[in-house]
Amino acid sequence: MGEGRVALVTGARGMLGTDLCPVLSEAGWRVIGADLGEFDITDAAAAREFVSGCRPSVIINCAAYTAVDKAETEYHTAFRVNHRGARNMAEAAAAVGAALVQISTDYVFDGSKEGAYTEDDPPNPVNAYGLSKWLGELAVRVTLEEHYIVRTSWLHGLHGKSFPRTMLTLAQPYPGKDVKPLRVVSDQVGAPTYTVHLARALAVIISKPCYGTYHAVNRGCCSWYEFACEVFRAAGLAPEIIPIPSSEYPTPAPRPRNSLLDTSKLARVYGHQLPPWQEGAAEFVGLWRESH
């Protein structure tokens, strides 16, 4: 690995990257944050040049195409970022002897399993976004031995678009606007994961070279409907919420019904567990209220 404790974070101005950089700094890393203004991960030569210049000991690739529904038609862009970009970062890491953390998703699974998915379960994406992330995982695995694949789910944070932000915005009354009943899907389950909690888990993961694939999500599970109810409870709001099946809320990209990820490997290898998802929701709501 490269000299010193230097961490390069790509997508540093995104939802996860914005929270990850200060967490890594607090953990003693010298952090270099990079986004499109510095280099484009889909440009292999630019990626290698930038990485060669800063010579990190670890790269955390938070840069991603995350528009799940748009990926069904913008699949060339999704695959260029999530697949080719991941491969480029792995090649750049290999060139300087750095490790790479590739952030991945529950959407690599089809959701048909009963119970939580382990790291050893075979992926079977049901949408273009999930396939692009799965191919990104494969590219990293075949390119670089010193890698961590970290899958997470239902990510939300203060610095980007997310489900709780959308719910709170829809529930806020203002002059000339009527708050309509909110119809929220109740037959898809997963673990809402707060970016700050995931960032702390990533700091733990890169603290020792136990390379491989890990699931990192907040503890517990819920449906999107239950997630919305908890967000409103934490915010002291009481809009009318109607639980509906997925069939009544069709989207361009199909979603897995079951997004539960088993995190026992993270606990076994690192002795680390993320807090319950309700704590993440409460912290998000508190910060959101301060900013509004």
SS3 237: coil
Interior angle at CA 80, CA 212 and CA 133, nearest 5: 35
Tokens 């897995």 belong to 256
| Amino acid letter, residue 201 | A
Q: End-to-end distance of the chain based on CA atoms, in angstroms? A: 44
Asked if 61 contacts 41 with a C-beta cutoff of 8 angstroms, the reply is: yes
Rounded Cα gap, residues 28 and 22, in angstroms = 10
DSSP secondary structure string, 178-226?
A: --PPEEEE-S-EE--EEHHHHHHHHHHHTTS---EEEE---BS-EEHHH
Annotated catalytic residue, options 65, 107, 117, 129:
129
Kindly write down the DSSP assignment for every residue of 239-258, as one continuous string: --EEEE-GGGS--SS---SB
Instruction: Name, in order, each residue with C-beta under 8 angstroms of 271's C-beta and a sequence gap of 6 or more.
Output: none
Contacts of 230 (CB under 8 A, 6+ apart): 222, 278, 281
Q: Which residue has the tokens 């809402």?
A: 192
User: Active site includes 75?
Assistant: no
Burial readout 206-242 (b: 16 or more C-beta within 10 A, e: otherwise): beeeebebbbbbbbbbbbbbbbbbbbbebbeeebebe
Torsion over CA: 58, 160, 187, 124 (sign): negative
Give the active site residues: 129
